[in-house]
Chains A and B, each alone.
Chain A
Amino acid sequence: MLSQFIGTGSNFWLPRQGSTSAAGVDFLFNAVTSISIVFFVLITVVLFYFVYKYRARPGHKAQASAVHNQTLEITWTVIPLLIVVWIFWEGFTGFLNLQTPPQNAYEVQVLGQKWKWLFTYPNGVVDDNLHVPPDEPVRLVMTSQDVLHSLYIPDFRIKRDVVPGRYEREWFQALEPGEYQIFCAEYCGTSHSAMLSMVIVHKSRPEFEKWLADAGNFLDKLPPEKLWEGGQKLYNQRGCKQCHSIDGNPGIGPSFKGIWGHTQPLKGGAQVTVEENYVRESILNPQAKIVAGYEPVMPTYQGRLKDKEITAIIAYLKTLE
């Protein structure tokens, strides 16, 4: 019954074990939980028993007893001390495992930005999901475009903050093909809770390689009249969608609906016509012209979108009447 609430493969407390590290983490979690339950029951039972047995009632009085007992104090200091030393040790060794990626790990670059994860593969492909081959360790090398984010994959039991100006690493090895949730776990503003992504563990290495090759070529393979579909995919994947709607509703940025070929009023009073040069400039140097009524918060895509990708996006914009 519980699984309908909390997903398949999970138990009362924890989600399914999706990585090779999960079992070790779960063992410690469950051990600490068990120790906690034992002490909690002990304290509660003693509490209720004393409150009942020594409850105030007519004729009943407190009886003199020792007000200190060195042996007792030492006992109930040393035993908890030994227990926490054990918990610390297990936590420490488990942490070493989580920290240390194996030598031959497959490396993916990760960029966190408000409010999208972008994964760059060794062949230059950029995708908004984390595709990985099965049964291989994967190392993530991560940085942020703007503020702190944190890449959290609950099923793998891994999490690491993503910091601007430096690179952080985490690793995992998935146990089974399938899809696993990625969350942002460091508050980053308006759409922090929508900064979601998926880990897609492919069924086999060849299947993964095929996906990778297709992803790399997808723009080249499109016939010219379908280039706009490539633009639509980029719009969805590369972080445009988080701020620019296509239904006319203003968001953090202006909506794209129906703007092609029309004029936009700019901050400061000038006007600009939405055509190829303006769109390209807005992507590569977004602070150059700000539409009136909006804040200058768009990150630059200089170095992150190739020319043919910009062309595809332009083709897509033209279709949004």
Chain B
Amino acid sequence: MTPKNHYLNHTSGFASWAFTLDHKRIGVMYLVATLSSFLLGGLAALAVRTELFSRGPTIMDADTYNKMFTLHGAVMVFLFIIPSIPAALGNFVLPLMLGAKDVAFPRLNLMSFWLWIIGAVFCIGAVVAGGVDTGWTFYTPYSTTTNTNVIATTLGVFILGFSSIFTGLNFIVTIHKLRPSGMTWFKMPLFLWALYGTALIQVLATPVLGITLLLLIAERALGVGIFDPALGGDPVLFQHFFWFYSHPAVYIMILPAMGIISEVISIHSRKHIFGYRFIALSSIAIAAFGFLVWGHHMFVSGQSGMANVIFSALTFSVAIPSAIKVFNWLATLYKGDIHLTTAMIYALMFMITFGIGGLTGLHLGALAVDIHLHDTYFVVAHFHYVMFGGTVIALLSGLHHWWPKMFGVMIDERLGRIAAFLIFVGFNTTFFTQFMLGSHGMPRRYYDYLPQFAIYHRISTLGSYVMACGFFLIAYYLLRSLFRGEAAPMNPFGGNSLEWHTSSPPPYDNFTVTPIAEDPYDYDNLVGDEVSGYKSRTYEGAKA
């Protein structure tokens, strides 16, 4: 069943990977890179939670703790969560879904990857050289006056920003220009709509982060004074610039995740997606509205009351398209034939954990309540529920869904289920308690805390260890599958988007038989089952 020649063994040697123009190899390299970053950021998180297990110093002093939570945030946001789904899964799947041979600009794609590497070197270098202690948000004046390695880190993030911009640019042009005839916009798989919305944000928002970081570097290195009140500057201006990017950035994080859920829910319940147009257009709506709400991170910063009111109102508007998606996914399950594969379990888990994350956004969008909750653990819990309970869970779903396609092997479903259980229990234990910490007034980024918060911190820390076990189990069985996994058929789950109509793994130029664009969610032409895979009647008799 596994073809003899495919993109993984087509050529070999370090140079054939380091200088590859094959989007599939670039996707795999990004996968390794972003998952390694997840490991680093995760270890930092375990260190933070271990320190917080007891009051007072537990395993580190205050300065080290401050550097540790900064490391956790910066690595997770810039090295892992923003690139991961688009650059790893998106790079691999997008051209295949379009029946194309590659993205529009393969050399730019390789450059994106090397920019990621260079940016990572700067950031890790900054850590090795003593770390940064500003928090991943770099607020001025603290970031312009602290004597930790701010410039090295922000330069690294600046470079990573360009990696992201070029990936977005590549995807926009590919989707516009490399669609096959017959695949109009509303015949594209929803993962592509999601990647398109994401790419728009990457291209339009990231340059603003770029200029923000340049201004921060100029202030530190040249004393320009744009954020320094003593020199006529305004420290709150930094927050406006920073969040103008960083709020849309969270939609870079969640839109591709939602795209994955659309694919997995439909395929693994053998049912056409419900409300295709609404889901597709809600991705664009989220991308657009996402640019208008940055001020909701700044309700207590001193911006005007009028600004607060406008940002609060617009913030609620963004909630609606996300809710629409959740209802459409539920409706897709109706009268389906639901296979509880590991990929599907994660997709269903997403609706629960992202649901909680999204609903707690309502608390934070309400002005009067946000005054109390801002900068407390309630916010920390909210964003972990949407970023982890949303993006990471969806990434796991997508990884398990496309793993057979990418590597030609099946995953051990039993171990997959056990790990999913550990992650679900561990995650909720870690972060649900943090909602309570926050609403009771525990501020965030605190090295030490008052006695009444101790029990919550202990429970949260224990949850994080359970979660870690889940991840180590996933790493184990994924790696084991590469060596001992059962060979994967071309179409193990019965999808009808074009990537399922080529071998697992695909040949280096993607298709041996020219694929035929059809409704990607129509499974009527597919025969087979999950044991031996599915075959499409559309391709019966087609010659390779």
Q: Are A67 and B441 closer than 8 Å at their CB atoms?
A: no
How many angstroms from the CA of A77 to the CA of B337 in the assembled complex?
27
Q: Are A77 and B338 closer than 8 Å at their CB atoms?
A: no
How many angstroms from the CA of A181 to the CA of B376 in the assembled complex?
14
Shortest A58–chain B CB gap in Å is 10
How many angstroms from the CA of A151 to the CA of B330 in the assembled complex?
43
Q: Are B276 and A68 closer than 8 Å at their CB atoms?
A: yes
Q: Which of A76, A97, A187, A194 contacts B368 (CB 8 A)?
A: A97
Contact with A along B330-371 (1 / 0, CB 8 A): 110111111110000000100110011001101101111111
Q: Which of A44, A62, A73 contacts B275 (CB 8 A)?
A: A73
Given A44-B352, A73-B275: A150 touches B375 (CB 8 Å cut-off): yes
- The answer to whether B525 has its CB under 8 Å from any CB of chain A is no
Q: Are B375 and A87 closer than 8 Å at their CB atoms?
A: no
Chain B residues with CB under 8 A of A186: 139, 375
Number of residues in A with C-beta < 8 Å to the partner? Answer: 88
- The answer to whether B229 has its CB under 8 Å from any CB of chain A is yes
Q: Which of B63, B142, B328 contacts A148 (CB 8 A)?
A: B142
Q: Which of A39, A72, A90, A183 contacts B366 (CB 8 A)?
A: A90
How many angstroms from the CA of A36 to the CA of B62 in the assembled complex?
37
Shortest A237–chain B CB gap in Å is 20
Chain B: CB-nearest residue to A4: B452
Q: Are B355 and A56 closer than 8 Å at their CB atoms?
A: no
Q: Are B338 and A36 closer than 8 Å at their CB atoms?
A: no
Q: Are B141 and A146 closer than 8 Å at their CB atoms?
A: yes
Given A54-B336, A95-B368: A192 touches B446 (CB 8 Å cut-off): yes
Q: Which of A50, A80, A92, A99 contacts B338 (CB 8 A)?
A: A50
Chain A residues with CB under 8 A of B317: 84
How many angstroms from the CA of A65 to the CA of B274 in the assembled complex?
9
Number of residues in B with C-beta < 8 Å to the partner? Answer: 92
- The answer to whether B125 has its CB under 8 Å from any CB of chain A is no
Shortest A36–chain B CB gap in Å is 4
Q: Which of A50, A88, A93, A155 contacts B313 (CB 8 A)?
A: A88
How many angstroms from the CA of A69 to the CA of B277 in the assembled complex?
11
Given A29-B372, A36-B359: A189 touches B235 (CB 8 Å cut-off): no
How many angstroms from the CA of A58 to the CA of B439 in the assembled complex?
48
Contact with A along B135-166 (1 / 0, CB 8 A): 10001111001110000000000000000000
Q: Are A92 and B440 closer than 8 Å at their CB atoms?
A: no
- The answer to whether A204 has its CB under 8 Å from any CB of chain B is no
Across the A-B interface, the 3 shortest Cβ-Cβ residue pairs: A165-B229, A154-B441, A94-B368
* 25 A–B pairs (Cβ distance < 8 Å), ordered by A: A5-B452, A24-B368, A32-B363, A35-B359, A43-B351, A51-B338, A54-B336, A61-B337, A62-B523, A66-B274, A76-B323, A84-B320, A84-B365, A88-B365, A92-B367, A94-B369, A95-B308, A95-B312, A95-B367, A148-B140, A150-B375, A165-B235, A166-B229, A185-B374, A193-B446
